[in-house]
Amino acid sequence: MKLLIDAELKTHTDKNELVRDVLPENVKGCTVDLTIGAIFMPGSEAGTLGSATKPRTQLTLMQGATAVVSTNEAFCLDGSHSAVVFPASSVSLKGLLMTNPGHVDPNYHGSLHLTVINMGSEPYPLKTGDRLLRTMVFKLDGSTAKKVSSASPLTEELLARLSPDFLDVNKRVDAAAKKAIDAADRRNLLRQAMMPVIVAIVTAVLTVGSGYLSLKDKFEERIARMEIANKDLNAIVRFEQLDSKLRQIGELTPPVPLAKHIEELRAEIDALRKAQNASPKKL
């Protein structure tokens, strides 16, 4: 097997052999540069610009966007030649990724179709005639028996199988945004539906709470009043006892020492005073 060099490549390409429609300046060293031909846009409506039947000649490929491009040049290999194609490195360096460069079979006739994705951080301009691929052509040791095969045409169905952007980012972002909006809407609806219930519960709690507090205040006030009344009652009872004792002193025969009774009475009066002081209510 032998890799063809520029002089051999030129001889062939000048006669439209092996690779057709090659510009002389695109033959270099042992390679031939292949350029952008038609540009197709996955996701475009049938019959519109960019669809399988109406390719574009230029397209600004946004970041993450995909396109299908055919080569301007067409292979017309015989049974004893084969080729490999790979991206031009300057194109790859700018972030254009090609998903299907590879092998070109002996006896293959036709242009190539490449799926490209802009992986760069800038929009990538695609234009008919711009350099895209590079090919090396090999002279085989013998001739293969395989019959001529040609490029399968790019159809709307094939184009529809590709996503307009890498990993369907736009669609997924839209779906994620829609999901988030739906969830927010659902939360809002729930909030709106729950609001009257929450208001009713809060009102009920506040009503019961304030009722409970005023009831508690009333109870405490009543207990305080009862305590005072109880102290007052004790004082009245003690006064009555004192009164009856004073009467008894007057009736005692023979009379008991007065000093002892006075002592007892003083103690009683002190106790009464103390009880009176503890109670804010005057008798």
Ligand X SMILES: Nc1ccn([C@H]2C[C@H](O)[C@@H](COP(=O)(O)OP(=O)(O)OP(=O)(O)O)O2)c(=O)n1
Q: Using CB under 6 A, list all residues that contact ligand X.
A: 100-105, 108, 112-114, 151
Q: How far is the CB of 19 from ligand X (least distance, A)?
A: 12
DSSP 8-state secondary structure symbol assigned to residue 4: P
Q: Which residue shows structure tokens 């390679």? A: 31
Considering the complex, state which of residue 148 and residue 249 has its C-beta at the smaller distance from ligand X: 148
Q: How far is the CB of 103 from ligand X (least distance, A)?
A: 5
Sign of the Cα torsion 213, 218, 222, 224 reads positive
Considering the complex, state which of residue 89 and residue 152 has its C-beta at the smaller distance from ligand X: 152
Q: How far is the CB of 114 from ligand X (least distance, A)?
A: 5
Considering the complex, state which of residue 44 and residue 82 has its C-beta at the smaller distance from ligand X: 82
Q: How far is the CB of 68 from ligand X (least distance, A)?
A: 10
DSSP 8-state secondary structure symbol assigned to residue 125: E
End-to-end CA distance of the chain: 133
Considering the complex, state which of residue 134 and residue 235 has its C-beta at the smaller distance from ligand X: 134
Considering the complex, state which of residue 38 and residue 104 has its C-beta at the smaller distance from ligand X: 104
Considering the complex, state which of residue 151 and residue 242 has its C-beta at the smaller distance from ligand X: 151
Q: How far is the CB of 152 from ligand X (least distance, A)?
A: 8
Of 177, 175, 141, 171, residue with least CA distance to 43:
171
Question: What are the two backbone dihedrals, phi and then psi, of residue 195, each rounded to the nearest 5 degrees?
Answer: -55, -50
Of 48, 32, 28, residue with least CA distance to 40:
48
Of 56, 64, 54, 60, residue with least CA distance to 39:
56
Q: Are 134 and 9 in contact (CB under 8 A)?
A: no
Helix (H) or strand (E) holding 84: strand 81-87
Token digits of residue 114: 């490449």
Q: Which residue shows structure tokens 């109670």? A: 279
Token digits of residue 93: 């360096």
Q: How far is the CB of 105 from ligand X (least distance, A)?
A: 4
